[in-house]
Chain A
Amino acid sequence: MDQVTGLQRCIRGRGTSACPKWLALGFAMILRLSAFAMDGPLEYQVKAAFLLNFTKFVQWPATAFAAADSPIAICVWGNDPFGKVLDQIVAEEVVDGRRVVVRRIKGTPAPHTCQALFVNGTEQEALGSLSGLGPGVLTIGEGEGFVHRGGMIAFVVENRHVRFGINESAAAAAGLKLSSKLLSVARSVEK
C-alpha cells in the first residue's frame, strides 16, 4: 500500500524518500499536474481535479443548459482558492459532448450560468443563498456540514487524503442524477 499511495503522499507534501521518483515519473508524464504542482497549494490542486471529475459522474437535465451545445460551467463563488490551476485543468476538457469552462461569480448566478458551483469554506455567509439557485446546479462545498445544510457534495480531508461526502436527495431534488460509481467512492451518502 505504500507504493500505491506514494503519489498522494507526494502531492500532499508529506513526501518520503519515494517522493522524488513519483514527482519525476508521474508529474513529468502529466503536464497539467506538473504545471500546478509548481504554483498552488497541493490540496486545492487535488480538489480542482476532483471538480472536473465530478462533472463526469453527474447527469444534468437538458433544462440545465441554455442551449444544446452550451458548455458545462464550473463556477467559483466569491473567494477563489484555485488560482490558475482550475483553468489549466479544465482547458480543452470535453464531458458528455460539452466543453468545460470556469466562471467566477459574486452573488447568486443567473439560471443556466452555472452547472456546478464551488463554494469556498471561507464563504459561509453564502450558504443562505443556496436555496435560491434553482434546479440543475450541482453544489460543491467544503466540510461535512455543507451537505447537512443542503449542499450536494462536500470535500473532507481524511487521513491526509481528500475525500467527499454526498447528499443524494439534494441532488435529486435539483434534478441531477449521480452515478452509482460516484456514490461508491463517497465517504458518506445522505439520502
Chain B
Amino acid sequence: MRAFRDIPIRQKLMVITVATTAAALLLAAIGIVTFDAALFRRSLIFDLSALARIIADNSTAAIAFDDPRAATETLGALRARPHLMTACIYRADGSILADYERQAATPACPAPGARDGVQFSLGTLTLSHAILLSGRRVGTLVMRYELDEIAGREKIYGGTVLGVLVVSSLIAFLLTSRLRAVIETPIAHLVRATTSVSETNDYRIRAQKLSGDELGVLVDRFNEMLGGIQSRDHELRKALREREEALRDAEKARERFRFMAESMPQKIFTATPAGDVDYYNRQWMEFTGLPFDRIKDSGWTQLIHPDDVEENVRTWRHSIETGEPFHFQHRVRRADGAYRWHLSRAQAMRDSAGNISMWIASNTEIHEQKETEDELRRANEDLQQFAYSASHDLQEPIRNVAVYSEIVAKRYDRVLDPEGKQFLGFLTEGGRRLATLIDDLLAYTKAGLIENDSTRVDASAALNEVLSSLAETIRQCNGSVTYDALPEIAMSQTHLQQVFQNLITNALKYRTEKPPEIQISAVRQGAGWRFAVRDNGIGIDPEYKEKIFGVFKRLHRNYSGTGIGLAICQRVVERYGGRIWVESSTGRGATFFFTVPEAAARARSAAAESAAG
C-alpha cells in the first residue's frame, strides 16, 4: 500500500481504473455464473420432474398388467435427452420392471430411494418419482441425470468472462491513457507552480486554471493563498523596514541621550520602573571613583551619608511606588572619602499608555551653595541678634533723653528764654521720634524671629484686640472699620496683630478729607487663606507698588511715620510662606492683600525656597 501511495497519480489512475473494471466484471461474472447455475438447476429439476410425471403416468398400465415390453417402450422416449443416463421402473415390491441405459457402460439403476424427490451427488442428479394408479402406489420411476451439462456451461461462462475481462481491461487501460491528461495536466501545472514558488520565493507566480472541477477550485484557492501570502509578505517586509528604522531612531536617541548625559557637568543616572539604577554617567564614576558594577541597582546606598541614607531610601521608595517626582538633599561620598551635599531630582518617564518606562535623575552638587547659605543664615541671625540687642539697649538712653527733656521743660520753664524753649522742644520731639523708631525696629527684628510653627490664632480675636487698642485714634478721625467672620489660621497672634496693626494704622493715616472706611475680609485660597484690607484713602501710585514694602521707604513726607510698618508686614507674611501686595491707584483708595498658607504647605514651600536658594 505504501508503494501505491508513492507512485505518480498517472499510474494510480491507471491502476484504479483497471482494478475497478476487472473487479466489477469479475463480480458480475461470478454473479451471473452463480445465478445461471442456480437457475439452470431449478429449470432442470422442473423439467425432469415434468418428464418423470409423464413417464410415470404412461407406465401405469405396464405396471398394472406387468408388461416389461410396454414399460421399456415408454422409457425409450427418454432417448431424446442426451444427459439422461439411466432410468428404471420398479414394481411396488421393489423389483425392476423395465430399465433404460444410454450407454452400456453406465452403471445399473440405483435402488429406489427411501424418499421421492431430487438428490444431487457429485456430477449427477437422481430423481425418484412415485407411480400412482387410482391413488395407490404401484411402482417407482428412478432417473439419473448427468450434470456434465452444468460444468460445461460454467466452463463456457468462465472463458467468456475471462475474455471480456482481458479485453475490457485493455480498453480501460487505453481509455485511461487518453483521459488521464484531463486530471494529470492541471495537477502537473499546479506542481510546477508550487515548485517554482518554493524555489524562488516569488509570490507573484500564479497557477494556471485548466478545469472547472475540484482541481480548478484547488488552483483558485492556491492562487488566493498566494495572493494572501504576497500581501502579507509585502506587509511583513514593510513592518521589518519600519522596525529597523524605529530601532535606528531609538539607537540614535539613546546615543544622543548618552552624549548629553556624559557631557553635562551634572551627575545623571537612570533607573528601571522598579527603582534599580541601570545607568550612571561618567561624572558619577569620576566622583565616586567606583566602577558601574559596584554602584548599579541599589549599590548607591553605600555612598550616602549614614545620617541621610534612611530617609533617602524611604523617599526614593515613595516615589517609585507613587510615581511622584523625587526630590532630596543628601550628602554623597566622594572618591577621597569626603561627603558633599547634593540635590537629587528624579522624574518618571511615561509611555503613551501612561505607564512608567524609566526614571531619569540628576544630582547637582550644592555643597558650596549650602555652605554659603548656612553662613548667610548665621550672619543674618547674628545681625538680628545685634539689632535686637541694640534696639533694646538704645531704649534706655532714649527714655532718659525723653524723661529728662520733659523734666527740664517743666522745671526750667521760667529760666529758659524762648529760643532755649524752642531748642528743648526740638530735643523732646527728636527723642520721641527716636523712641518710636527704636520700637518699630524692635518689632521688625522680632518679626523675623522664629516661633513655634504649630501655633494657631483666631484672626477675629486678633483683629478685635488691635481695633480696641486703636479705638481712640479711629474715634478721633471719625473712621469706621467693618469685617467679616475671619478664620482660624496657622500664625502666632503677635505676628498677625503686627500685620493688622500696621495695615489699619496706614489706612487711617493716609486718609482724605472723607472719614476713613476700612473693610477687612478673608477668602479661601488653596489650602490657606487670602486676607484683604481695603480703605478709601489717598491710594498709591502703581509705580510704587513694590517700593513701599522696603525698610524706611516713605512716600509722603507730610505724614508722620518711620517707614518700617509695611516692611514688618512683609517680613511677617513671608516668614509664614505667604505673600503681600497692594492693588491701588492714586485717589481711588488701596487694597492690601496677604496670603497665609496652611502649616504643611508652608513647610513644603519653605523647603523649595531654601533648595532654590
Residue of A nearest to B67 (CB): A185
Please state if B93 and A30 are interface contacts (CB–CB under 8 Å).
Answer: yes
The answer to whether A57 and B64 touch (CB under 8 A), given A26-B93, A29-B93, A181-B58, is: yes
15 additional A-B pairs beyond A30-B92, A181-B60, A182-B61, beta carbons within 8 Å, are A4-B97, A5-B68, A7-B66, A7-B91, A7-B95, A22-B95, A25-B93, A25-B94, A30-B93, A56-B133, A57-B64, A161-B66, A181-B58, A184-B70, A185-B64
Interchain Cβ contacts under 8 Å between A and B, 28 examples: A3-B96, A4-B95, A4-B98, A5-B68, A6-B95, A7-B66, A7-B91, A25-B93, A25-B94, A26-B93, A29-B92, A29-B94, A50-B65, A53-B64, A53-B133, A56-B64, A57-B64, A94-B135, A95-B134, A179-B61, A181-B58, A182-B61, A184-B61, A184-B62, A184-B73, A185-B61, A185-B64, A185-B67
Instruction: Give A1-26 as 1s and 0s: 1 = Cβ < 8 Å from B's Cβ atoms.
Output: 10111111000000000000010011
CB neighbors of B among A119-171 (8 A): 161, 163-164
Please state if B134 and A96 are interface contacts (CB–CB under 8 Å).
Answer: yes
Q: List the A side residues contacting B93 at CB < 8 Å.
A: 7, 25-26, 29-30
Please state if B66 and A8 are interface contacts (CB–CB under 8 Å).
Answer: yes
CB distance from A145 to the nearest CB of B (A): 21
Q: List the A side residues contacting B73 at CB < 8 Å.
A: 184
CB distance from A4 to the nearest CB of B (A): 5
Instruction: Give B223-245 as 1s and 0s: 1 = Cβ < 8 Å from A's Cβ atoms.
Output: 00000000000000000000000
Q: In the complex, what distance in Å separates the CA atom of A165 from the CA atom of B60?
A: 18
Q: In the complex, what distance in Å separates the CA atom of A26 from the CA atom of B99?
A: 19
Q: List the A side residues contacting B91 at CB < 8 Å.
A: 7, 26
Which residues of B are interface residues toward A (Cβ below 8 A)?
A: 58, 60-62, 64-68, 70, 73, 91-99, 133-135
CB distance from B183 to the nearest CB of A (A): 76
| Closest CB pairs A-B (n = 6) | A181-B61, A26-B93, A53-B64, A185-B67, A185-B70, A185-B61
The answer to whether A3 and B95 touch (CB under 8 A), given A95-B134, A96-B134, A184-B70, is: yes
CB distance from A163 to the nearest CB of B (A): 8
Q: List the A side residues contacting B98 at CB < 8 Å.
A: 4
Q: In the complex, what distance in Å separates the CA atom of A93 from the CA atom of B64?
A: 14
Residue of A nearest to B65 (CB): A185
Q: List the B side residues contacting A4 at CB < 8 Å.
A: 68, 95-99
CB distance from B565 to the nearest CB of A (A): 171
Q: In the complex, what distance in Å separates the CA atom of A164 from the CA atom of B99?
A: 23
Residue of A nearest to B92 (CB): A30
Please state if B65 and A53 are interface contacts (CB–CB under 8 Å).
Answer: yes
Q: In the complex, what distance in Å separates the CA atom of A57 from the CA atom of B93?
A: 22
CB distance from A180 to the nearest CB of B (A): 9
Q: In the complex, what distance in Å separates the CA atom of A50 from the CA atom of B93?
A: 17
The answer to whether A1 and B68 touch (CB under 8 A), given A6-B95, A25-B95, is: yes
Residue of A nearest to B136 (CB): A93
Residue of A nearest to B70 (CB): A185
The answer to whether A57 and B61 touch (CB under 8 A), given A4-B68, A96-B134, A185-B70, is: yes
User: For the side of the interface on A, what is the size category?
Assistant: 20 to 34
Q: In the complex, what distance in Å separates the CA atom of A26 from the CA atom of B96?
A: 12
Please state if B95 and A56 are interface contacts (CB–CB under 8 Å).
Answer: no
CB distance from A183 to the nearest CB of B (A): 9
Q: List the A side residues contacting B65 at CB < 8 Å.
A: 50, 53, 163-164, 185
Residue among A3, A29, A53 with most chain B CB within 10 A: A53
CB distance from A157 to the nearest CB of B (A): 14
Q: In the complex, what distance in Å separates the CA atom of A96 from the CA atom of B60?
A: 15
Q: In the complex, what distance in Å separates the CA atom of A5 from the CA atom of B58?
A: 20
Q: In the complex, what distance in Å separates the CA atom of A130 from the CA atom of B13?
A: 97
Q: In the complex, what distance in Å separates the CA atom of A6 from the CA atom of B94?
A: 12
Residue of B nearest to A27 (CB): B93
Q: List the A side residues contacting B62 at CB < 8 Å.
A: 184-185
Residue among B66, B68, B70 with most chain A CB within 10 A: B66
Residue of A nearest to B89 (CB): A4
Q: In the complex, what distance in Å separates the CA atom of A56 from the CA atom of B95?
A: 22
Residue of B nearest to A30 (CB): B93
Please state if A56 and B134 are interface contacts (CB–CB under 8 Å).
Answer: yes
Q: In the complex, what distance in Å separates the CA atom of A164 from the CA atom of B64?
A: 13
Q: List the A side residues contacting B60 at CB < 8 Å.
A: 181
CB distance from B465 to the nearest CB of A (A): 165
CB distance from A31 to the nearest CB of B (A): 11
Q: List the B side residues contacting A26 at CB < 8 Å.
A: 91, 93, 95
Q: In the complex, what distance in Å separates the CA atom of A3 from the CA atom of B95?
A: 8
CB distance from B284 to the nearest CB of A (A): 141
Residue among B58, B64, B65, B97 with most chain A CB within 10 A: B65
Residue of B nearest to A21 (CB): B95
CB neighbors of B among A45-92 (8 A): 46, 50, 53, 56-57
Residue of A nearest to B97 (CB): A4
Q: List the B side residues contacting A3 at CB < 8 Å.
A: 95-96
Q: In the complex, what distance in Å separates the CA atom of A57 from the CA atom of B98?
A: 21
Q: List the B side residues contacting A94 at CB < 8 Å.
A: 134-135
Q: In the complex, what distance in Å separates the CA atom of A185 from the CA atom of B74?
A: 11
CB distance from A57 to the nearest CB of B (A): 6
Residue of A nearest to B68 (CB): A4
Q: In the complex, what distance in Å separates the CA atom of A4 from the CA atom of B135?
A: 25
Q: List the A side residues contacting B135 at CB < 8 Å.
A: 94
Q: In the complex, what distance in Å separates the CA atom of A132 from the CA atom of B50?
A: 46
Q: List the A side residues contacting B92 at CB < 8 Å.
A: 29-30
Q: List the A side residues contacting B97 at CB < 8 Å.
A: 4
Q: In the complex, what distance in Å separates the CA atom of A36 from the CA atom of B30?
A: 63
Q: List the A side residues contacting B58 at CB < 8 Å.
A: 181
Q: List the B side residues contacting A95 at CB < 8 Å.
A: 134
Q: List the A side residues contacting B133 at CB < 8 Å.
A: 53, 56
CB distance from A149 to the nearest CB of B (A): 23
Q: In the complex, what distance in Å separates the CA atom of A4 from the CA atom of B67?
A: 10
Q: In the complex, what distance in Å separates the CA atom of A1 from the CA atom of B98?
A: 8
Q: In the complex, what distance in Å separates the CA atom of A99 from the CA atom of B511?
A: 179
Q: List the B side residues contacting A179 at CB < 8 Å.
A: 61
Q: List the B side residues contacting A22 at CB < 8 Å.
A: 95
CB distance from B174 to the nearest CB of A (A): 67
Q: In the complex, what distance in Å separates the CA atom of A3 from the CA atom of B99?
A: 11
Residue of B nearest to A96 (CB): B134
Q: List the B side residues contacting A50 at CB < 8 Å.
A: 65
Q: In the complex, what distance in Å separates the CA atom of A53 from the CA atom of B66?
A: 11
Q: In the complex, what distance in Å separates the CA atom of A1 from the CA atom of B96?
A: 9
Q: List the B side residues contacting A7 at CB < 8 Å.
A: 66, 91, 93, 95
CB distance from A7 to the nearest CB of B (A): 6
Residue among A4, A164, A179, A182 with most chain B CB within 10 A: A4
Q: List the A side residues contacting B67 at CB < 8 Å.
A: 163, 185
Residue of B nearest to A183 (CB): B61
